[in-house]
Amino acid sequence: MNLDELKRNYYLFDPVSFGRIFVFVDFGNVRPWAKEFWPEENKYRICIEIDIKKLAEFCDLVRPAEKFFYYGFFSDDAVPPGSRNENVRHKNSIYRIDKARKSGFSVRSKEIKMIPHYDEDGKFLGKTPKCNFDVEIALDAMRKFEQYDTVMLFSGDSDFGKLLGYLKSKGKKIIVVSTRTRMSVELERVADKFIPAETMKDLLRYDIKTNTPPPKGAEV
């Protein structure tokens, strides 16, 4: 047994009994793991991230038939190109998506919508970003239904409960990877195997300060 197999069996599982595995990474849910893993370092701003390349390599330990990555991007039309106030959030989101693609993920992305919020008197309070991929993940899972035996979902979001419940009723095996605090009751009930993300935090660490910096304006 080589080092990768030892690592796989210790942190994940032996894939032999799970057949063809499809991995679904809801990165909008995964990225906040960093604040739970390294709370002091990320107290004021995220300085230590979840490394997308290491995440892909981690998924590859179970030899998935395919792995999907879902993440939104901020629009770049708010500020003129070359402006001093260039849209850093846009660059960062695009950088993460490109990194996922280069790491072997099949990427699904769309623009993040900014939803306005008002108080009871109608006073504008600001805008909140919103971009979930429940529908896209469900569509991929259903369209490719005959191509896999096991779903490995990186998310603890309860919204996936009905989808995973249906897939399990049709004979699919369900593996959920999430932090304990983000693991919903709905997914816990349906999962054949739950993998606490806390166990792998040292394998997924990306320290922005000590790693080679990405292109100007982007972080990870």
Q: Confirm whether 172 is domain-assigned.
A: yes
Q: Would you state the structure tokens that stand for residue 81, as one six-digit string? A: 């190109």
pTM over 0.85? The answer is: yes
Q: Confirm whether 144 is domain-assigned.
A: yes
For residues 45 and 4, is the Cβ–Cβ distance under 8 A? no
Quote the CA–CA distance of 36 and 117 in Å, as a whole number.
27
Q: Would you state the structure tokens that stand for residue 76, as one six-digit string? A: 């770049």
Total domains in the chain come to 1
Q: Confirm whether 217 is domain-assigned.
A: no
Q: Confirm whether 49 is domain-assigned.
A: yes
Quote the CA–CA distance of 220 and 217 in Å, as a whole number.
10
Q: Confirm whether 54 is domain-assigned.
A: yes
Q: Confirm whether 212 is domain-assigned.
A: no
The CATH number of residue 171's host domain is 3.40.50.1010
What SS3 class is residue 205?
Answer: strand
Count the helix, strand and coil residues of the chain and give each as a percent rounded to the nearest 5. Answer: 40, 25, 40
Q: Confirm whether 193 is domain-assigned.
A: yes
What domain range is 200 assigned to? Answer: 14-207
List per-block mean pLDDT (blocks of 10 residues) for the chain, which spans 220 residues.
Answer: 88 95 97 94 88 97 97 76 65 94 97 84 80 95 98 96 98 98 96 96 84 52
Q: Confirm whether 110 is domain-assigned.
A: yes
Position 211 scores a pLDDT of: 60
- HEC sequence for 57-118: HHHHCCCCCEEEEECCECCCCCCCCCCCCCCHHHHHHHHHHHHHHHCCCEEECCECEEEEEE
Position 81 scores a pLDDT of: 56
DSSP-derived secondary structure letter, 204 = S
